[in-house]
Amino acid sequence: MRIAFYSAKSYDRDSFNLYESQFGHQITYFEAKLDKHSTSLAEEHEVVCAFVNDILDKQVLKKLKSRGVKLIALRCAGYNQVDLDAAKEFDLPVVRVPVYSPEAVAEHAFALLLTLSRKTHKAYNRVRESNFSLEGLTGFNLHGKTFGVVGTGAIGRAFCKIALGFGGKVLAYDLFENEEMNSLGIQYHGIKELFSKSDIISLHCPLTPETKHLINGEAIQHMKDGVALVNTSRGALIETKSVIKALKNRKIGYLGIDVYEQEEDLFFKNLSEQIIPDEQISRLMTFPNVLITGHQAFLTKEALGQIALTTLNNISEFEDGKNLTNQIG
């Protein structure tokens, strides 16, 4: 099938080109983000392959349908960017990659946490300038801390296991308890109780209307003073203005985020020569106890390979008229 591949980066090309010949599809790579202005690029393509910050609202889906697109293939797990009701109305099946490498994201969450806890980013910059002073680099142990994990899907479970390996006590919150987690001694609690008991909170739940701004002013009031908060899931789980306030009054002691609620016009771009108009992320970057990465938690060779294989297989299932294993809705 002919695939219009939006928001393409070099690492996307490398991973998909590796497997493209095995499936017989024809991929056209576009650097442009999918939105109402770029739907014309999908002309003469049967499939649109989209990523997390591509826009798939009703207007875009209608235009894609009129241009002959038959399938929306997301190369990501989340699908909050898709108007599923409109997709159904226009008879556009939507498939995704529900699991690629849970360990990739969980390990990145710990990379953020370890960097914040031991200030290795600051030490690296000092040593490059021949400054070997240890002043201001005092950190804290992860061993013995209480980890609160919100969401025990594949990524959340991988995070829990790593936390146990560090000698932490792990609490979890999910709408459905996982038997494997119970067997490992992980205790499920209500969300407020988890907030109040955790030294470190890591978010691993999807973005839904119910979870949007899960971390808000009220939620933060239930947390311990100096709590460490990590988000590698979806940016809008956090209400940024409330977190900034909590950083200023030291209620939140550390913040590590790989996602941001207004990342759509920021992440995956080189803006080093531009003035960033987003005042909230600019403010976040001024805090010495905040670490931000640009949605790279998924970015490992293993994860990219699995994303490519699953996406191409999803498209082949559609082409062959088979049941769509990873269809949404």
295 is catalytic: yes
Q: Which of 46, 261, 263, 317 is catalytic?
A: 263
> For 201-252, how does the pLDDT look when each residue is reduced to its tens digit (9 = 90+)?
999 999 999 999 999 999 999 999 999 999 999 999 999 999 999 999 999 9
Rg (CA), the chain: 21
Q: Which of 46, 108, 234, 239 is catalytic?
A: 234
Q: What is the DSSP letter of 145?
A: P
Residue 234 catalytic? yes
Taken in order of first residue, the domains within the chain and their CATH numbers are 2-100+300-319 (3.40.50.720), 102-292 (3.40.50.720)
At residue 59, what is the residue type? Q
User: Do the Cβ atoms of 261 and 81 come closer than 8 Å?
Assistant: no
In sequence order, what E strands does 143-225 have? 146-150, 169-173, 187-188, 200-203
**How does pLDDT run across 137-178, given as a tens digit for each residue?**
999 999 999 999 999 999 999 999 999 999 999 999 999 999
With a CB cutoff of 8 Å and minimum separation 6, the contacts of 28 are 2, 3, 4, 5, 41, 45
Phi/psi for 107 (5° steps) reads: -65, -35
Low-confidence ranges of the chain (pLDDT < 70): none
Residue 329 pLDDT = 78
The pLDDT score that the predictor gives to residue 19 is 94
pLDDT on residue 33: 96
User: H-helix or E-strand containing 305?
Assistant: helix 301-319
How many CA atoms, within 13 angstroms, populate the side-chain half-sphere of residue 159?
Answer: 32
The residue from 25, 45, 96, 295 that is catalytic is: 295
**SS3 state of residue 103:** helix
CA distance 32 to 120: 35
